[in-house]
Amino acid sequence: MSGEVPAGRRGRLVVLVGPSAVGKSSVVGKLRSEVPDLFFSVSATTRDPRPGEVDGRDYHFVGEQGFDRLVADGALLEWAEIHGGLQRSGTPAQPVYDALEAGRPVLVEVDLAGAASVKAALPEAVTVFLSPPSWEELERRLRGRGTESAAKIERRLETARAEMATRDDYDAVVVNDDLDRAVSDLVSLLVGAGEQRA
């Protein structure tokens, strides 16, 4: 995988990071309706679909063997073990390169390690941390989701704590206290002028 995208034909690449339950899916859903040519990278993952998740739309649910094959083929731009190794998720490379080459804005949603890997591979990427209004609010949302076991929730809280501690490492921080404002901040980063900080 060369990673070469012809100069002058690049779309803007935004890498969105944020704790689980910060509201990323609402933000991403609204972003997709407001930026019609946005390319949203659909990750491959080893985990099973949650209720309501659709294969090919929310993730490519490829299983352990399918994931091994993608890694062996060098087909992933980055991948990481998530939640202490409970699952692996990664970004299929070619669709991202194709969209950038076509000049489309690209949104990649990954964990911390993934953001660093994408930035290393494609330094023009703008990394964005989607932050909850407060830790208390995030904890309330994480516990309230009610779809997972206590052990899984504890693991998510642990991951979220580590993620919150890194919020200053990104090119921009967008606080998700107001959906419309958070989305409009991201629209500016994706299609707006300059390297503005939110």
Binding-site sequence positions for ATP: 18-25
Give contact residues for ligand 5GP (rule: CB under 6 A). 20, 43, 47, 78-80, 82, 89-91, 109-111, 113-114
Binding-site residues:
18-25
Per DSSP bridges, beta strands 87-92 and 44-45 are antiparallel
Q: Which is nearer to ligand 5GP, 25 or 134 (CB)?
A: 25
Q: Which is nearer to ligand 5GP, 7 or 80 (CB)?
A: 80
Report in angstroms how near the CB of residue 197 gets to ligand 5GP at its nearest. Answer: 21
Report in angstroms how near the CB of residue 130 gets to ligand 5GP at its nearest. Answer: 10
Q: Are 110 and 124 in contact (CB under 8 A)?
A: no
H helices within 37-176, ranges in order?
A: 63-72, 93-101, 112-121, 135-144, 150-164
Report in angstroms how near the CB of residue 20 gets to ligand 5GP at its nearest. Answer: 5
Decide: residue 178, CB within 10 A, 0-12 exposed, 13-18 middle, 19+ buried.
exposed
Q: Which is nearer to ligand 5GP, 92 or 105 (CB)?
A: 92
Q: What are phi and psi of 89, to 5 degrees?
A: -140, 150
Alpha-carbon span 83 to 87, nearest angstrom: 7
Report in angstroms how near the CB of residue 90 gets to ligand 5GP at its nearest. Answer: 5
Report residue 6 as tokens: 């012809």
Q: Which is nearer to ligand 5GP, 78 or 171 (CB)?
A: 78
Report residue 84 as tokens: 């202490």
